[in-house]
Amino acid sequence: MNVAAREIAPAKLNLALHVRRKRPDGRHDIETVFAFCTDGDRLSAFPRSDSFEISVSGPFARDLDPGDPDDDKPNLVLRAARELQAAAGASGGARFELEKNLPVASGLGGGSADAAAALRLLTSLWGIDPHHAQSVAPALGSDVPACLLSLPVRGDGPGDILSPADLSDISGRPVLLVNPRVPLSTAEVFARWDGQDRGPLGDWREGRNDLEAAAISLAPQIDAVLAWLGLQPGASLVRMSGSGATCFALFDDEEPRDAAAMAVPREWWHMASFLR
């Protein structure tokens, strides 16, 4: 059977992330700017008559539970497929093949990006209105609506209230992602947030990541990654993404980015990419 479609599920970066308050529903109001890399996981879909299944390969396949398609809490790709099928009244199914290139629980929105890629693939495969994917995305996770677009946007509220963000001045900029191979639970990091509102997000360049201290308290290795990136020649901006533990550095040119990538300590994961 030929591949019906293939999608990159791009790595997500939070160029800045300000936490404003805890909401009555237990989530947090944030202000963030999402950017996306040209690289990430890869998802393929093969048409089936009525059911869904997934297989996972790649360097981080062992860290991801593919789940049982008939379970009440399936893998997020399968959950996205089920919910889109119900919302659109579609009768088709699909077999997914996921190449897991991004670390799990790493602040790169990997699961959200994979779910978003599934929504895009099935929208094309079934020939349905993209509005159905947009309608189910928020319930899958706060990052999924942004990942569905995979374009620069500002996120407010829990992160799923989106508005355009002009990042044309850094589009195509070389970027280096580094993770100390420590998975972090988003819920645990938010639970460690000190509750202090440090003010709204204006220019993301002058912003910060309010979850950094909480993440470092759980994974002190993040501090070492940030310090190491900050010492690399040509690094123009160094921050942690999301709830960690992945950190990133933007570079003006590809050559110093590649030199830094070659020097990353062997015990850390890294990916050299570009901003979309």
Q: Which positions are catalytic?
A: 12, 143
Chain centre to alpha carbon of residue 253 = 24
d(CA 219, CA 54) in angstroms, rounded, equals: 31
CB 113 within 8 A of CB 41: yes
**Angstrom distance (rounded) from CA 81 to CA 35:** 25
**Crossing angle of the two packed helices 76-88 and 110-126, in degrees rounded to 10:** 40
Whether the Cβ atoms of residue 81 and residue 112 lie closer than 8 Å to each other: no
The answer to whether 116 and 77 are in contact (CB under 8 A) is no
Of the CA atoms within 13 Å of residue 136, those in its CB half-sphere come to 25
Q: Which helix (H) or strand (E) holds 224?
A: helix 221-230
List, in sequence order, every beta strand (DSSP E) within 111-157: 153-156
